[in-house]
Structure 1
Amino acid sequence: MSKKIIKDCARLLCLLLVGMALLGCSAGPGSNKAETDQPAVSAQGTVNSEMQTVTDLVGREVHVKIPAQRIVAVGPGSLRLVAYAEGTKGVVGIEDMEKKVPTGRPYMFAYPELKSLPTIGQGGIDTVPDEEALLSVKPDVIFIAYLVDKAKADNLQKKTGIPVVVLSYGPLATFNEKEIYQSLDLVGQIIGTQQRTAEVINYVKKSQLDLAERTKGIADADKPKVYVGGLGVKGTQGIESTQAKYPPFMNIGARSVVDETGKSGSLMIEREKLVSWDPDILFIDEGGYSKVLADAQKNPTFYQSLRAVKNGQVYGQIPYNFYTTNIDTALADAYYAGKVIFPEKFQDIDPVKKSEEIYTFLLGKPVYEEMAKDYGGFKKLDLTQP
């Protein structure tokens, strides 16, 4: 072999060694994550997940693959939180109830493609998880709310061999509950969208602050008295079904007559109590509007004895409690109630446009029209006409 060939080979080998050294320096452990803040991706385009330990909402330490790529969400509110977290593309199955009950849940209007996924159980507030159906879709994680306690979650995880992460909306299931924010953050951490869930939490908190600031400083004596009736409780209810500390009212500092009871949550009142309160403004949850209207035709004297009915101050609210709290609709209801009760403080608000803004931010699509089609939307109601 000539000296020239030997020199050329040596030069080529040297260049290769330098190139390898430079490559090693630029691609050290964790460098991809640090540069992009995204999960590491292999040469084949798959996400490189790793087992990590998280603490769920009942205090269980769960070992789960992060980011989880195959997701199921079981029980009231679980799938909604995954939708807010922009995780629907990872969902591999949904409950039958989510498919067959078409109304009341904006996230199903925003992501109708979810209905084509395999069924992972019956669904509903009184059901138990279907272990066989869950195993059939091979999820990386099972998000679950309300259907299990700590012991039942441990048992489900043991039987399926799949990490079970318990979520919660809190005891009152309102969008003021810190458990909702903790659950959102946990979902984002597990599916790799924690930045998105932080944005959602911030948006909801800023909206609440905006609502509160608009009516800050108004004395109760200067506020009209308000009442909300027709709220659903395990089915459609009439005018007597109400709620103390009704979240849309609480967020705007409304003077709700029901709060005089000193209670919180769902209540059934006597009709005589509503007459004695005689609110200036009456809101009807449109989920119960047909029942209230039918009752008004049978008992016109009672309804026409109410100041709000006589003065034409009756308004519709879109039901926000369906398979627990639709945070988006609850916020939209608060802005509409503010527009009605404190018009001078909400002059810049168009309730429909504001609703579409809320739905679009939280779900990626404006779905107010679909909700209004099902329930009637934000408008005055007339209880004196057949």
Structure 2
Amino acid sequence: MDKKNVVIITAIALILVVCAAGYSLYASAHQPVSGQKTKTIIDMEGRTVVIPHPVQKVVTIGSVPVQNSFIFALGKADTIVNGIPAKFVQQGRWKYQYVFAPHLEGQPEMQSASYEPNIEEIMKAAPDVVFTMDQATVDTLDQSGLSVVYLSWVDAEDVKGLMALMGEIYDRQDAARDYVQYFDDTIQRVNSKVGQIPENERPKVLYFQYTGMTVPHKIGDWWIMKGGGRSVTDAPRQTESLKIEPEQIVGWNPDIIIISTPSEIGAVYNDTRLSTVNAIKNKRIYITPMGAHIWSHRGIETPLTVLWAAKLFYPDRFTDLDLEQETTEFYTQFFGYTLTPDQVKEILSGKAKI
């Protein structure tokens, strides 16, 4: 064997030794505790995932606040070991993430500004489970030997499967069922008062993000309809968000405009391109509430959004609906947290700031 071949074989052998040593170190650091129980679950992508039982530490990657809110509702906020990503913190709006889970303050960030997971930080935290709503993150973390659970909420009814899965993971099946029952009961309560209103008598409603001229979430069409309104953007589409133009808004001429960012309200009123729109002429632009998450987005507070919308659209039909009381009772029942009257008002205003 010539000298060149010997060098090549030696190099390959060294690489194999290093890889084996690295794997050995990883395995020894993450090997199951003797006698530790496990359970097998099927996530929302149909993947079979083996997880420790009970689950004591979790990491949420991607849309962190919305995933956190599901965990809050099961009384398991203390299992989250990652902080709120800087991208969210910089918005200054996520006050109630820290109200409901004070320990999140100062926890390490575990993803980049573009939502890519920081594998080194995640491995250091040694979570029992990593939750994500992003397929690429699943693929990345699967290769690291972590127990990754994919969550999905595209259509309104998906929350039922999501909460059932989370209840199974945390052994909080009863709490998950209670939430699903509350979800269904709330929608039915509202429907009993608005379900028979003819389509042409319902207010035309636009929910949108002014800065980007987009309708950010398909679920907005759903809660507007469940609240008794007509979403002017309610048409089949493949994408979660929808790009719109000022000319379309003028053509739709909504009676009510709903936004989720307080700083945009002045800009909408001052946009001369929209001056003929009924919602602007009649001063009917509203900000959605915000608690653990923005109510108008997909999140644990969606049933409250339907109540809020129904009261907004039909104040005379819902004179007996006390939104402050409903809000207080919701967070007490599901989050185990009793809000003060001032906190309730702040959540309903949509203007909470850190």
TM-score tier by shorter-chain length is 0.7 to 0.9
Unaligned stretches of 5+ residues in structure 1 = 1-47, 378-386
Corresponding residue number in structure 2 for 1:327: 300
> What do the CA deviations read for 1:174-211 (whole angstroms, capped 9, x no partner)?
5x132x32232222222222222222222222212222
Distance apart, 1:133 and its partner CA: 0.9
Q: CA-to-partner distance for each residue in 1:44-77, whole Å, 9 max, x for gaps?
A: xxxx851121111222212211111222222213
- 1:322–1:343 distance in 2 versus 1, CA, 3 Å: closer
1:96–1:345: structure 2 CA closer, same or farther, 3 Å change rule?
same
Alignment equivalent of 2:47, drawn from 37, 47, 60: 60
Report whether the alignment pairs 1:191 with 2:187: no
- Give the equivalent residue in structure 2 for 1:114: 104
Residue in structure 1 matched with residue 270 of structure 2 by the alignment? 297
Equivalent pair of 2:288/2:348 in contact (CA under 8 Å): no
Distance 2:70 2:182 in 1: 14
- On the 8 A contact 1:62/1:165 being kept in 2, the answer is yes
Distance (whole Å) between structure 1 residues aligned to residue 247 and residue 89 of structure 2: 41
Aligned to 2:221: 246
Specify every segment of 5 or more residues in structure 2 that has no aligned partner in the other structure, as ranges.
Answer: 1-34
Q: Is the 8 A contact 1:243 1:258 kept in 2?
A: no
C-alpha distance in 2 between matches for 1:242 and 1:55: 29
SS at match of 1:135: helix
Q: Calculate the TM-score normalised by the size of structure 1.
A: 0.69
Tell me, in whole angstroms, the C-alpha distance in 1 between the residues paired with 2:201 and 2:298: 31
Structure 2 residue aligned with 1:307 = 278
Q: Does 1:317 pair with 2:317?
A: no
Deviation at residue 249 of structure 1 after TM alignment = 0.5
- Name which one, 1 or 2, has greater alpha-carbon Rg: 1
SS of residue paired to 1:327: coil
Q: Percent identity?
A: 22
| TM-score, L = length of structure 2 | 0.74
User: Post-superposition shift, 1:348?
Assistant: 0.9
Instruction: Establish whether residue 89 from structure 1 lines up as the match of residue 69 from structure 2.
Output: no
How far apart are the structure 2 equivalents of 1:241 and 1:51? 42
1:141 to 1:269, Cα distance in 2 relative to 1, 3 A: closer
Q: Give distance in 2, aligned partners of 1:306 and 1:250.
A: 21
Paired amino acid for 2:305: D
The aligned residue for residue 347 of structure 2 is: 371
CA 1:156/1:58 → structure 2, altered by over 3 Å: closer, same or farther?
farther
Contact 2:73 2:300 in 1 (8 A): no
Indicate the RMSD between aligned Cα atoms, in angstroms: 3.2
- In 2, Cα distance between the equivalents of 1:374 and 1:356? 15
What is the one-letter code of the residue matched to 2:176? T
Is the Cα contact below 8 Å between 1:56 and 1:165 reproduced in 2?
yes
Bigger RCO (CA 8 Å, 6+ sep) = 2
Secondary structure at the aligned position of 1:375 is classed as: coil
Alpha-carbon distance between aligned partners in 2 of 1:295 and 1:218, rounded to the nearest angstrom? 29
- In structure 2, distance between residues paired with 1:334 and 1:199: 18
Contact 1:283 1:317 in 2 (8 A): no
186, 211, 217: which one pairs with 1:207? 186
Deviation for aligned residue 1:262: 4.7
Residue type of the alignment partner of 1:293: G
Match of 2:24 in 1: none
